[in-house]
Amino acid sequence: MKDFAGVSISSLVKKYGSPIYIYDLDSMVGAVQSLKTAFEGQVEIHYATKANSHPLILKAFLKEKIGVDTVSWGEAEEALNVGFKPKDIIFSGVAKTSVELTQAIRKQIKQINVESPQELIRIGEIAKKLKKKAQVAFRMNPNVNPNTHPYITTGFRENKFGMDTTFLPELRGILRKYAKHLDLKGVTLHVGSQLRDLSGILDAIQKTIPVFLDLKHSGFHMETFDIGGGIGIPYDGSEPMDLKLYATQVVDLLKPLGCRILTEPGRILVGPYGILVGEIQYIKASPYKNFAILDTGMHHLMRPALYQAFHRMEKVGVVVSDDKVLYDIVGPICESSDVIGRDRYLPILEQGDLIAIRDAGAYGFSMASFYNAHALPKEIIISSKKATTLKKPHLPDSWL
């Protein structure tokens, strides 16, 4: 691998140092446009900013006239700072604080996805105090166990997210109590992340439709049905999901409701279009293992340590031999879990070589930390074969 998004990787490392994230902005915008085409204007897209909230990515998506889904007020502020309007913002998350909800209600954002009766009471009290009416949707837990890693399932009864139908009587009572300050707009669901099988999502939608209809027949002005996000990407390099098939099946299920359909994609819009590049500091060969030790690791890309996630890796530059060696690719952190890839056959590696870790555009920098007091990697944006970076690392205000 020599180039990414038409630019020499080695030249970027020479200019900006290592490790670095490199993003292909044009392809990210292309992914948004492809999803819009698949939905044919029948679904409102809200990008899940937790995947990657780099300001230049958000600005590019703003130009595509989509909204955002946020899971903290910090993410909402990042979106507002680049030009998104309150009407573009969905606020999700299981532990919204009073301070966050006050901001969301004061700004009159599009929709607050409610996770519990206590949260609905809190929203009602704040809206009453502010003399506002908050637009809310109930996040339902349809008890669907999708085929994904257990740490990223969110719609199963064992998960902390959402509410099952046993909550509905209490929720109705709260809505009646705060009738002047709560406006129930619809229902929402999200069954998990990195989903490569549509059956879990479709099953969850079918299980939630009766809830939508029950609330509508109870007199609430139900307008929206939010199907969440979670569509996965092929980290192994296989074929991506058929977005047109996904869009058609979702729309066919929900069109009879006569409601607006919302979705919250993240990974599929940015994941394949980013790489993390690190430099080999040492090659260490023992009788048991060959280790390639990089200047980047779990503090910059947590997914392999957290989820045992697989990322393809390639040596950057010219490969002079077809010979391959079995390596564990590891990082500098003082944790045995700091392994980016186990048992990888790669061309013969040497100290100073660069390794490109693919499909790192989602949940890479956004999950990075200062652990062991290592600096964060720079983020390089490539558009039209031109590289741009921010003078400071992109950090949410809450980090500072």
| Whether pLDDT at 19 is above 70 | yes
Q: Homologous superfamily of 3-21+273-399 in CATH?
A: Lyase, Ornithine Decarboxylase; Chain A, domain 1 (2.40.37.10)
Residue 142 confidence (pLDDT) = 81
Fold of the CATH domain 25-270: TIM Barrel (3.20.20)
DSSP for 64-103, written as a single string: TT-EEEESSHHHHHHHHHHT--GGGEEE--S---HHHHHH
Q: Is the dihedral angle over the CA atoms 67, 71, 73, 77 positive or is it negative?
A: negative
| Whether pLDDT at 148 is above 60 | no
Give the pLDDT band (50/70/90) at residue 400: low
Residue 398 confidence (pLDDT) = 61
Residue 151 confidence (pLDDT) = 41
Q: Which residue ranges does the chain devote to CATH 2.40.37.10?
A: 3-21+273-399
Q: Which residue ranges does the chain devote to CATH 3.20.20.10?
A: 25-270
Amino acid at 77: E
Strand intervals (E) in 33-174: 43-48, 67-70, 89-91, 111-114, 134-139
Residue 254 confidence (pLDDT) = 95
Residue 190 confidence (pLDDT) = 82
- Residue 63's H or E segment, with its range, is helix 55-63
**108-146: per-residue pLDDT in tens?**
999 999 999 999 999 999 999 999 999 999 999 887 755
pTM: 0.92
Residues 276-304: what's their mean pLDDT?
96
Please state the separation of Cα 263 from the chain's center in Å.
12
Would you tell me how many other CB atoms lie within 10 Å of the CB of residue 400? 6
Q: With b meaning 16 or more CB within 10 Å and e meaning fewer, what string describes 280-299?
A: beebeeeeeebbbbbbbbbb
**319-330: per-residue pLDDT in tens?**
878 899 999 999
| Residues belonging to the active site | 334
